Amino acid sequence: MSYHHLTISERIRIEVLSILGYSTRFIAKFLHRHHSTIARELSRNKFENNYCSTSAYNNYLKRRKNSSHSSKYNDVFSNLISEKLHENWSPEQISNALLNDKLSFKTIYNWIYIGKLKGISLLQLDQKCKK
């Protein structure tokens, strides 16, 4: 079962139906959602026993903004990896031999693709591989 976040229009419907006194199960059936989703939404975002869709949506946006995962990227890794790539080490060698699998070679490639590593580009790596 896939999970989809509540939209602002669904939150407005929840607000209206809860003001009219409908149960969480009725609201859930009306929105084609699980009743626990509605109950959780109401309990998370009630202020003084009232649910407000706009403040609920703003709270949702704040929670989403603060929920990003932590990155392993730091200057020490960046400098070390850049140095070894300039010495013609492959990302696989760096990951296995130097970093003891603390960082996957796929992550190193991703950092190269998005330009996080100083002075390293895909073009440079490609030219080194052809030599």
Per-residue pLDDT of the chain (131 residues; tens, 9 = 90+): 567 899 999 999 999 999 999 999 999 999 999 999 999 999 999 888 899 999 999 999 998 887 766 677 788 888 888 888 888 888 898 888 888 878 888 988 888 888 888 777 776 666 655 55
CA distance 99 to 93: 9
CA distance 62 to 56: 10
**What is this structure's pTM?**
0.56
Residue 47 DSSP code? E
Q: Is the Cβ–Cβ distance between 59 and 22 less than 8 Å?
A: no
CA distance 123 to 85: 13
* pLDDT tens-digit readout, 94-117: 888 888 878 888 988 888 888 888
Q: Is the Cβ–Cβ distance between 92 and 85 less than 8 Å?
A: no
- Residue written as tokens 């026993």? 49
CA distance 5 to 45: 15
- For 90, phi then psi, to 5°, come to -90, 160
